[in-house]
Structures are given as structure tokens and as C-alpha cells.
Amino acid sequence: MIRAVLLTLLLGGCTVRELDRMKDLDTRGDWAALAATRLSACDWPRDAVCAELHILRARGCLRLAAEDVSETERRRLLDCALESGRAALAAADDTAPAERSAWRAAHVSALYASRQARPAREVCGDNAELLEQADLLRQETPAEPRARFLAASARLTAARCGPPPCPLLREAAALLHDPPTHAASQWRALAAGLAITARSLACPTS
């Protein structure tokens, strides 16, 4: 029993030291070192240290994926970001709500980027997670326009992937109110895609 307690304390100390190391890498912008870090799975849903380790790795992978890399490398890095993002959220029950929402926002961005990087034949499976997580993010941050945009985008893809498409398209259109000025063209493009898809499916206009 005593040996088990000592082992737990030792492992905990190692984990905290690893967190300090990864925070330092994050501060210095060493995304490659963060992405290359090997992490174990979190053992329970209230493991705040393990969750933060994974979100730091996910951030490194996502930052690298946005750089000038090959498509194969971008997909690998996005898969890394998604793997660690899922692990972080699964272990974040004791994380402050605002911080957990910020982590979810990063994970939703990774899901969106991953969907955009995949061939059309592969997007439907990944889109289900994007739709779920974007809706959770909308609930957590109702004033955040980006969450509405991503939820609308996920609904457009879901409508293209299978029935029932028309209710999804109506829900998506309702989310695209008050677009932020800096992203107005992106929102207009999504609204146009919704309208074209609705017409092609002969969806009712009201």
C-alpha cells in the first residue's frame, strides 16, 4: 500500500515537471517539440494536469499544420491535434469552464481544418464530431460568432451527407445572422452554399 502511494506521488511529480517543460515550449513557440512529445492516455475524467499536457500538444500540432507543409504532413499533424484534443476534453471535468471552452474552440478549429483537408468522400464521418462539438461550443459561448459559423458549416456538410437535409439547412441559415465584419466574405460564401444546396434538393423556402 505504501509503495503504491509513493509510486503515485513520484509519477505525479514527473507529470508536473513535464507540464512545466511543455508550458515553457509553448511560451517559446516551439511547436515542433510540443508536437513530438509522446504522452500517455489520461486515466480519469478529472485529471487536469494530463488534460493540459494534451491540449499543449494539440496546440503545437495545430500550429504546425497551419504552416507551409505537405498535404500528407498536414493531415498527420491535424490527426495529432485531434487525438490530443479529444484526450484533453475527456479529462477536463475539473478544468475551469472558461478554459475548457477555449480548449473546445481549439478542438473545433482542428476538426474544421481536418475536414477541409480531406477528400470529399471522407468528410461525412468526421463531420459528425464537428457538428456535436460545435453545438457544445455554441452552448458554452453563445456570444461567439465563430461557434455559430462552424455549427452552420457542419450542418451544410451533414445535409450533403444524408437525410434529412432540409431541416439541417434551415437550422444552418438561422445561425448566420450578424456576421462579424472581418469574416463577412466567408459567411457570405457559406450562406451561398446553403442556398445552392437547398435549391438543388428542392427544399421549401419557409
Over the stretch 12-46, which tens digit does the pLDDT of each residue have? Answer: 444 888 899 999 999 999 999 999 999 988 888 98
Q: What's this model's pTM, rounded to 2 decimal places? A: 0.87
How high does pLDDT run on average in the chain? 90
Nearby residues of 84 by Cβ (< 8 Å), 6 or more positions away: 39, 54, 55, 57, 58, 61
pLDDT digits (tens, 9 = 90+) for 100-115: 999 999 999 999 999 9
The answer to whether 35 touches 61, Cβ cutoff 8 Å, is yes
* Res 163: pLDDT: 83
d(C-alpha 84, C-alpha 32), whole Å? 15
Bridge partners for 92 per DSSP: 46
